[in-house]
Structures are given as C-alpha cells and as structure tokens.
C-alpha cells in the first residue's frame, strides 16, 4: 500500500473529537485528499455518525424504525461514541453481520467473535468535512477494498455456523437482518399481534412477500409443516389489505437447510402450485447468507423478481 502524507490542512481537519472545529477549508481539495486518506486508512473504524455497523437505516428497512444490525437481542455491538469506536460485548455469537456492514472493513471476523480495529485517535472525518463530503468520500473509500468470492463465502459460512443451534428468538432477527442486508425491506410483526401472524414480511408497495421461518432448533431442514404454514401466510396476506399484494407473488420459507428429496416437500410445493396456483419459494440459510454477503461486499443484489416469482428452492 502506498503511503500518503496528509497535507497540513487535512491533518488539521482531522482533529480528535472535541477539538476546535473552526477550520477554514477548501471542500474540493479536502475531498480529494479524503479519498486518498480513505484508501490509506481502510480497515480502520471511521466512527461514522450513521452507525452502519449497529443499525440499518430507515431507507434500508423501509419500516421507519432503527433496526439493529446485530440479531442478538441484547445487541452485542454498541456504538459508544467513544474514541475507540463501537464495542463488542460478550453476547456476540460471531455472525459477522456487523463486519459485512462496516464500510471501512474495520471489523474483523478472524476469531470466533467480531473485533473492531479502533480508529486512529485523530481520525474524525465527518466532523471535519461535513456529512455530505464525508459520506461521498466514504462510499468511494469502501469500494477500494476488493473482496474475493472465497472471502465472501467464508463470511457466509460464519453466519451458517453461528446459527446452527439457534432457537427462534435468535434466528428470526437474524433472518430479518440478512434480508435487509440483501436489500429487501423486511418487517417482523410483533409476537402478540394476531392480525399479522406471519413471521416476516418483505414489504413492497405492490407485491409484499410473506416469509415463514423455521429455526434450526425446531427443524434442521425445511419441512412439510413449514410449507403448509407458508400457504396459510399467503392466504392471510391476500385477505388483508395492509400490505401490497399480488396473487402471483410467492410465499417464502426460510429454513436452515433445504429439504431432502424424500421429505415430500417438493411434491407438496408442486401440488400447491397445480391446485391453487400459489408459488411457495424455499431459501436455505446458507443461500440467504450468501445473498446478504454478496450484496454488502460485492454490490451484487438479487433482483426482486427472483424472489417474488420463486417456486421451489432458489
């Protein structure tokens, strides 16, 4: 990596938090320097004020509430706004979602839990540059890190490993977060809300997709029962006018693994299509993790139509 020495003006701009901020600067020049600095400082926490490692933005979730990235109910990653960046608590089970989200690649998954590479104490771009320049610079900086398919696959595998024993308390939020990370606005109705007994809804103005989730603690593979529930979810969504809905939209099942050939699940999916014209789509956690990681790290988004017309496995 090429070493770049910061100009006195940029160095001055990058004072620690709390330092005097009355800096006169030339935005255009600062911006170009930031781009180089971003390259230089890649893999270090930038202390982003929008906190992408801890929360999805409202635009991403589409539901107007700050959805935590960490699927652990106690939120194992917290942005303490400290000079050292976010802290990882003991509750971390190493799913790697926060690492996927970090635009600077500053969270490593080398060990079984997430680890944050702290910022340099005088790195605080946003305060110095103003939000607009900072975010533009950051988006360019983050694309400088090239992820290989193998690395992405490894992170997806981490998510699979971490979730192998999960009960629904942990698994449902994980699936929700993976969908959001993959670029699908996902809403999880409240538990006690009998009007929305669907586990998860990929909301859309025109065709929302209901998702039935089977945690590994309930069943390792997608089973007949989950397909039956998916059919009911489809029926419930069709009967309600709360979400945009189209008859040809699929009803999805997410389980830890795909069903075996002898389970009868594929036959039932076909029978439901033949008899009722309803598509039931099956997605394994491995597949979903791959979609999420590729979307976050390689910008490879699955087109919505692939899910909305899915029948059988992805």
Partner 1 sequence: MRRVRLGKEPAREVSLPVWEAGSKHERRMFEPTMLGPIASACLRCPDAPCVSFSDEELARQLSVETPLDPDPHVCPTNAIRQDGSGLPLIDRECCVGCGLCVQRCPVGAISLDKNDTAARVCVPQAPHYAPQAYDARAFLDLRGSLAGKLVPEAAPFTDAGLAGLQQARLEAALSKVDAQRFYRLFVRNVFLLHGLPARLRNVGDNTAPWTELAVGCRDTLFLFEIEPGPEALDAFRRAIAGVATLSSSGVSLDHITPSVVLARLPNERVDYYRVLKYVREALGVRVRTLPITALLLAVRGGEVGLTLQLVDACYVEETLISLQHVVGELFGAIDDVEGVGLAIIK
Interacting residue ranges for partner 1, rule: CB under 8 A:
194-195, 197, 224-225, 227-229, 231-232, 234-236, 238-239, 264, 267-268, 270-272, 274-276, 278
Q: Is the dihedral of CA 171, 174, 180, 186 positive or negative?
A: positive
**119: which strand partners?**
none
CA neighbor of 230 nearest in space, from 279, 284, 275 = 279
Task: Give me the least distance between CB of 238 and partner 1, in Å please.
Answer: 4
Nearer to partner 1, 207 or 229 (CB): 229
Nearer to partner 1, 214 or 290 (CB): 214
Residue 170 CA to residue 167 CA, distance in Å, equals 6
Residue 107 CA to residue 45 CA, distance in Å, equals 8
Nearer to partner 1, 217 or 224 (CB): 224
Residue 28 CA to residue 164 CA, distance in Å, equals 49
- Give the pair of three-digit tokens for residue 110: 């080398």
Number of Cβ within a 10 Å radius of residue 83 = 17
Q: How many degrees, rounded to 5, is the angle at CA 238 between CA 232 and CA 244?
A: 130
Task: Give me the least distance between CB of 230 and partner 1, in Å please.
Answer: 9
Task: Give me the least distance between CB of 189 and partner 1, in Å please.
Answer: 13
Nearer to partner 1, 19 or 271 (CB): 271
Nearer to partner 1, 152 or 252 (CB): 252
Task: Give me the least distance between CB of 184 and partner 1, in Å please.
Answer: 23
Task: Give me the least distance between CB of 167 and partner 1, in Å please.
Answer: 19
């Amino acid at each position: 990596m090429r070493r770049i020495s910061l100009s006195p003006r940029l160095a001055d701009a990058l004072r620690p938090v709390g330092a005097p901020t009355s800096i006169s600067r030339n935005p255009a020049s600062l911006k170009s320097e930031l781009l180089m600095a971003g390259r230089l400082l890649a893999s270090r926490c930038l202390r982003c004020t929008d906190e992408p490692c801890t929360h999805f933005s409202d635009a991403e979730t589409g539901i107007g509430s700050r959805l935590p990235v960490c699927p652990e109910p106690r939120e194992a990653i917290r942005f303490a706004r400290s000079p050292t960046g976010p802290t990882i608590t003991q509750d971390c089970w190493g799913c790697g979602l926060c690492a996927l989200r970090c635009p600077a690649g500053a969270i490593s998954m080398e060990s079984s839990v997430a680890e944050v590479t702290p910022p340099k104490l005088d790195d605080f771009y946003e305060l110095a540059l103003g939000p607009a320049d900072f975010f533009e610079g950051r988006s360019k900086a983050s694309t400088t890190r090239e992820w290989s398919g193998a690395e992405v696959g490894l992170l997806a595998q981490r998510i699979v490993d971490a979730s192998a024993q999960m009960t629904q308390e942990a698994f449902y939020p994980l699936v929700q977060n993976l969908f959001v990370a993959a670029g699908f606005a996902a809403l999880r109705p409240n538990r006690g809300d009998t009007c929305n007994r669907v586990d998860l809804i990929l909301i859309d103005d025109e065709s929302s997709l209901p998702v039935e989730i089977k945690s590994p603690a309930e069943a390792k593979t997608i089973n007949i029962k989950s397909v039956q529930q998916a059919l009911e979810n489809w029926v419930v969504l069709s009967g309600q006018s709360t979400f945009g809905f189209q008859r040809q939209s699929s009803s999805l099942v997410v389980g830890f693994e795909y069903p075996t050939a002898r389970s009868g699940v594929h036959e039932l999916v076909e029978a439901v299509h033949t008899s009722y014209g309803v598509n039931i789509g099956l997605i394994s956690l491995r597949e979903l993790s791959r979609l999420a990681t590729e979307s976050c790290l390689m910008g490879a988004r699955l087109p919505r139509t692939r899910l909305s017309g899915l029948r059988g496995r992805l």
